[in-house]
């Protein structure tokens, strides 16, 4: 069974996280991703921990670059630039996540590459995008979390600023870039023309503010951190049981009634303070006091089973190690062994499940730097083999 993007060739100049996450998604869907790396150095992420026990290979790099091919080109060298341009003629997509202007300085910007291949999809992921006054500014994940307002609504009330626990600035940008690439490929089927996809990490963070923007527009006040609590649905937060914390998400009045039944407090259903979601939100401190007293009487596991059996969304707050024994994660094939390593190594599976996308038992290892130099030249340049130094 073929994968959805089988036959699509991607020349991938990206490094670290945002771009490699995008091209990992494309590879999961069947694209042939050819990673272009600096000779002798490679993707910066090759030097990021954690490392396997031998200390030579980065588990972090392996988790983002599984199943890709690697060639080494020095894009400041005329011979290697010429090889790169010839490869552009043979691929569908070029991806990069340099600071805007970098590719133009190398003589490899979109305007140049589309002259070489008018059908090329050129996808650029950057901190602030390829237009606007901040376009050339440097950015990392935490920079855009701060600039976008995401950090301003993350953490506990009156606490110090907190970044989201995963790199959502990079990852969301990678996801939006992949979406843009697939959309551009689809449009090319109609028009026969390529185009440039320009995705900014900052834009991605603004795009996911959803409720925060709506609240500001209605109230005129900037939202603040609320900890684990939802800003407009109650009860929808973390609660402390006898032996730890878990979450309850009673998203409507019907679920509120079921929760009251689950904890043996049916009297709360018609309590005027808590009758509607608006009432519960207005009286959240009183509500949390009542719920806190009841929920402290049993363990997390006891409450999760009872509340779940009443049809109310609930979950323990799992640590990462517990995911490996989580039946639902296992059933969805979301933790896969990575082939080709002496040590056990698991990575996230493909979250996009499709009827015509076969599930895999494992994922192929990440490439060594320059491992596919000769293979790619033989395959794409039809045996006309300019010399690439194997490093």
- Rounded distance, CA 286 to CA 290, Å? 6
Beta-carbon count within 10 A of 269 CB: 15
Helix segments in the chain, DSSP class H: 18-28, 59-64, 78-88, 102-105, 110-116, 141-148, 168-191, 201-207, 210-219, 253-262, 277-282, 284-295, 300-309, 327-331, 373-380
Describe the chain by its helix, strand, coil percentages, rounded to 5.
Answer: 40, 15, 45
The sheet that has 236-240: what strands, in order across it? 236-240, 245-249, 314-316
CA pair distance 328, 162, nearest whole angstrom: 30
Catalytic pick among 186, 230, 310, 372: 230
Kindly list the strands in the beta sheet with 362-363, ordered across the sheet, starting from the edge strand earlier in the chain.
Answer: 346-348, 335-338, 362-363
The string over 229-265, giving b where at least 16 C-beta atoms fall within 10 Å of a residue's C-beta and e elsewhere, is beeebbbbbebebeeeebbbebeeeebbbbbbbbbee
> Is the separation of the CB atoms in 232 and 215 below 8 Å?
yes
3-state secondary structure 345-367: CEEECCCCCCCCCCCCCEECCCC
Cα distance between residue 44 and residue 47, in whole Å: 6
Show the tokens assigned to 326.
Answer: 């989580």
Q: Is 230 a catalytic residue?
A: yes
- DSSP β-ladder status, 9-12 and 362-363: unpaired
- Give the residues across from 70 on adjacent strands: 35
The answer to whether residues 67 and 33 touch, using CB atoms and an 8 Å cutoff, is yes
Q: CB atoms < 10 A from the CB of 47, how many? A: 12
Query: Is the backbone peptide bond immediately before 156 cis, with ω within 30 degrees of 0?
Result: no
Give one word for 158, left, alpha or beta, with left for phi > 0 and alpha for psi -120 to 50.
Answer: left
List the catalytic residues.
Answer: 230
């Amino acid at each position: 069974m073929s994968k959805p993007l089988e036959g699509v060739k991607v020349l991938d100049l990206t490094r670290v996280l945002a771009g490699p996450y995008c091209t990992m998604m494309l590879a999961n869907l069947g694209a042939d991703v050819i990673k272009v790396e600096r000779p002798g150095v490679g993707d910066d992420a090759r030097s990021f921990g954690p490392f396997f026990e031998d200390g030579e290979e980065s588990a972090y790099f392996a988790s983002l670059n599984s199943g890709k091919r690697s060639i080494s080109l020095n894009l400041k060298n005329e011979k290697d630039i010429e090889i790169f341009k010839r490869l552009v003629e043979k691929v569908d997509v070029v991806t990069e996540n340099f600071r805007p202007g970098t590719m133009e300085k190398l003589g490899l910007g979109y305007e140049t590459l589309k002259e070489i291949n008018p059908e090329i999809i050129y996808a650029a992921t950057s901190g602030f995008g390829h237009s606007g006054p901040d376009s050339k500014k440097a950015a990392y994940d935490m920079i855009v979390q701060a600039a976008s307002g995401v950090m301003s609504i993350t953490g506990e009330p009156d606490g110090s600023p907190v970044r989201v626990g995963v790199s959502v600035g990079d990852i969301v940008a990678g996801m939006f870039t992949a979406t843009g690439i697939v959309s551009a490929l689809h449009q090319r089927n109609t028009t026969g023309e390529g185009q440039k996809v320009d995705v900014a990490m900052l834009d991605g963070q603004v795009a996911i503010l959803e409720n925060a923007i709506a609240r500001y527009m209605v109230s005129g006040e900037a939202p603040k951190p609320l900890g684990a609590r939802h800003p407009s649905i109650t009860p929808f937060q973390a609660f402390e049981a006898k032996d730890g914390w878990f979450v309850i998400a009673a998203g409507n009045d019907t679920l509120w009634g079921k929760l009251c039944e689950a904890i043996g407090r049916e009297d709360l259903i018609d309590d005027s303070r808590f009758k509607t979601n608006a009432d519960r939100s207005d009286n959240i401190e009183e509500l949390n006091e009542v719920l806190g007293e009841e929920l402290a009487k049993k363990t997390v596991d006891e409450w999760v089973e009872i509340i779940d059996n009443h049809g109310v969304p609930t979950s323990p707050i799992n640590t990462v190690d517990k995911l490996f024994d989580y039946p639902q994660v296992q059933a969805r094939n979301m933790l896969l062994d990575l082939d080709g390593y002496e040590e056990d190594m698991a990575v996230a599976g493909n979250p996009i499940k499709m009827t015509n996308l076969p599930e895999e038992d494992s994922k192929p290892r990440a490439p060594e730097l320059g491992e596919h130099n000769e293979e790619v030249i033989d395959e794409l340049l039809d045996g006309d083999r300019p010399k690439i130094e194997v490093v």
